[in-house]
Amino acid sequence: MAEPILAGVAESDLGETPDRNWLDNAAIATVRALDDAGCTLAEVDGVAVAGGDDYMPALILSEYLDLDEPSFLEGTEIGGSSFEHFCGHVRDAMARDEADVVVVAYGSTSKTGPSDDRSLEVTHPVDGFVRPTGLFRPPGAYAMAARRHMHEYGTTEEQLAEIAVSTREWASMNPKAAQREPITVDDVLESRPIADPFNLLDCCLVSDGGGAVVLVSEEKARDIDVPPIAVAGVASTSTHRQDVSEMPDMTTTGAAVTGPKAFEQAGITHDDVDVAEIYDSFTYTALVTLEDLGFCEKGAGGEFVSGGTTAPGGELPMNTQGGGLSYCHPGHFGVFVLIEAVRQLRGDYTGDRQVDDAAVAVAHGTGGLLSSSSTVVLRREA
Amino acid sequence: MSAPVEDRREEWDGPVPVPTGATEPFWEATLEGALRYQECDCGNRQLYPRAVCTACGAEDPPFEESEGVGTIYTYTTCHVPGEPGFGDRTPYVVGAVELAEGPRLLALIDAEPTELAVGSPVAVTFWRVSDEAAIPVFVPE
């Protein structure tokens, strides 16, 4: 099957954007990503948007950008993994010649925007079983999964903290990262408790901002002469949604299903992976995903991430822009996972920030409360 | 089984469930101190209550009464309130309770975290938070 080419990537301004709304940020990221791809707005014939504070975000962004009757529209909302999920639909659409230039976009004002004003009368049947417990979501839900993992496999808080430390090392080299000061395992353990076993530094940031990637057909890619970063494999699934106690096994995520599928489609093994961009809403999210994707045995994630395995110079460079833990996290981090994977494969960086000769990347999105998983394998074509 | 039902209507500032559709028999029973789950003719047991059986698709699977005991599958101590009305309660414990009958239920755990571990036995009590519903709250057994 023809593989779409990731031709352009960009962020909007990150951090605090009090004068922008989600749509502004998504639109700014879109035009910057198009510029990166050497494409124009007039060429866009497909739009995929998740998140946003409005109903029908794909239509709203299309109107805002005054797109001329786009033939591909996508708005499947599976949280932070939506953008990886879109890559599969874009591939299918391009195989049908339905679109040649598709924008996958996200924007939010998670930090400075209005917080949601929640009613105390819980009329949604499922939420009636969840919200009266007071569970602080998402951190508490992920924390419950992490505790179960600790119980079953002996994973320690120190091992979880190793992920935050390694990720911060990467962030220290990224001028766009919100947090760049190096930290230690003790710093993580001594940071403010949020939801046991998580402390503040086990948790992602809250940011404003947007991101976009532009996917083009192979034919279009030849016209615009971009570095050919192809979508070589993609798969998605879900295990539950509102109630984390519905998760069949809290120590195994949907990545155990999507990883093998995406790897098989791409025809790669773990040894081929040069860089991993793994959704890290919390330290545990990255740990359990590494296990489920098969980078180590189930239960061995704690040992695997210890000693700088995922840090600069480590065996598996992970979250090389500083991740959701240190770079930015405007709500649906999945789009930023793709952006960084493309930049590493293109060799956009210099020095220690650039993973040597990176040719294959895994970009993994997680959505909801460990609820959805989407894995994309990206490959730099010769 | 009939577990204690404590009337907390005066002091409760948190979210209150509104019984609708398939959940009505569940919430009605809570007012009497009974914890119900659905057990379909096909043998599947499920919570939260749904209009269909997730195993065979039968509509409106019937309710059975739980013994109201189980074990902690996992838990967390929330140091940040997750809902309106929980500020004064912080820190508090929320757990996933595996009932003896099988289904798992997310619930407040009325205990000090030091009293708990994964696998700890717990029993249900109820806090009446509205005229229509009493929420299940588990305590160490």
> Do the bridges between strand A5-11 and strand A208-216 make them parallel or antiparallel, or are there none, so unpaired?
antiparallel
Task: Flag whether pLDDT at A125 surpasses 90.
Answer: no
User: What integer pLDDT is reported at residue B134 of this predicted model?
Assistant: 98
pLDDT in tens, A95-108: 999 999 999 999 99
Residues of B in contact with A126 (CB under 8 A): 48
Pick from B64, B74, B78, B23: which is nearest to A247 by CA? Answer: B74
Poorest-pLDDT segment among A13-17, A89-93, A118-122, B28-32: A118-122
Min Cα separation A246/chain B (Å):
7
pTM higher than 0.80 = yes
The percent of residues above 70 in pLDDT, for chain A, comes to 100
Residue indicated by tokens 């639909």: A89
pLDDT in tens, A327-373: 999 999 999 999 999 999 999 999 999 999 999 999 999 999 999 99
User: What integer pLDDT is reported at residue A382 of this predicted model?
Assistant: 75
Give the pLDDT band of residue A82 (cuts 50, 70, 90): very high
Alpha helices in chain B (DSSP H): 24-30
Say whether A132 and B135 touch across the interface (CB within 8 A). yes
Task: Flag whether pLDDT at A116 surpasses 80.
Answer: no
Do residues A12 and A25 touch, judged by C-beta distance below 8 A?
A: yes
Residues of B in contact with A125 (CB under 8 A): 20-23, 48-49
User: What integer pLDDT is reported at residue A302 of this predicted model?
Assistant: 98
pLDDT in tens, A162-173: 999 999 999 999
Strand-pairing partners, residue B121, are B71
Strand-pairing partners, residue A236, are A374
Helices and strands of chain B, counted as H and E runs: 1, 10
pLDDT in tens, B64-103: 999 999 999 999 999 999 999 999 999 999 999 999 999 9
Say whether A193 and B95 touch across the interface (CB within 8 A). no
pLDDT in tens, A270-294: 999 999 999 999 999 999 999 999 9
Task: Kindly identify which residue of chain A lies nearest to residue B128, measuring between CA atoms.
Answer: A132
Q: Stretch B17-36: mean pLDDT, rounded?
A: 97
User: What integer pLDDT is reported at residue A52 of this predicted model?
Assistant: 86
Say whether B74 and A151 touch across the interface (CB within 8 A). yes
Give the pLDDT band of residue B140 (cuts 50, 70, 90): very high
In B26-85, the residues whose Cβ lies within 8 Å of chain A are: 27, 47-49, 73-85
Task: Flag whether pLDDT at A1 surpasses 70.
Answer: no
In B76-115, the residues whose Cβ lies within 8 Å of chain A are: 76-86, 89, 91-92, 94-97, 104-108, 113
**Residue of A128, A140, A192 with shortest CB distance to B76:** A140
Task: Flag whether pLDDT at B1 surpasses 90.
Answer: no
Task: Flag whether pLDDT at A33 surpasses 90.
Answer: yes
Min Cα separation A165/chain B (Å):
23
A161 touches chain B (CB under 8 A): no
Residues of B in contact with A250 (CB under 8 A): 73-74, 96
Mean pLDDT score of chain A = 96
Q: Is A50 helix (H, G, I), strand (E, B) or coil?
A: coil
Give the pLDDT band of residue A53 (cuts 50, 70, 90): confident
Residue indicated by tokens 């379909």: B40
Say whether B94 and A144 touch across the interface (CB within 8 A). yes
Alpha helices in chain A (DSSP H): 22-37, 57-64, 82-95, 139-153, 157-171, 185-190, 218-224, 255-266, 283-293, 301-305, 334-346
Pick from A369, A370, A328: which is nearest to A137 by CA? Answer: A369
Task: Kindly identify which residue of chain B lies nearest to residue A119, measuring between CA atoms.
Answer: B15
Task: Flag whether pLDDT at A114 surpasses 90.
Answer: no
Mean pLDDT score of chain B = 97
| Interface predicted TM-score (ipTM) of this complex, two decimals | 0.97
Record the tokens describing residue B83, joined without a space.
Answer: 């809902």
**Residue of A129, A130, A148 with shortest CB distance to B118:** A148
Give the pLDDT band of residue A2 (cuts 50, 70, 90): confident
Q: Stretch A230-247: mean pLDDT, rounded?
A: 95
Q: Stretch A100-129: mean pLDDT, rounded?
A: 92
- Judged on CB neighbours under 10 Å (0-12, 13-18, 19+), A152 is middle
User: What integer pLDDT is reported at residue B6 of this predicted model?
Assistant: 98
- What is the torsional sign of CA A339, A340, A341, A343? positive
Pick from A334, A332, A306, A304: which is nearest to A319 by CA? Answer: A334
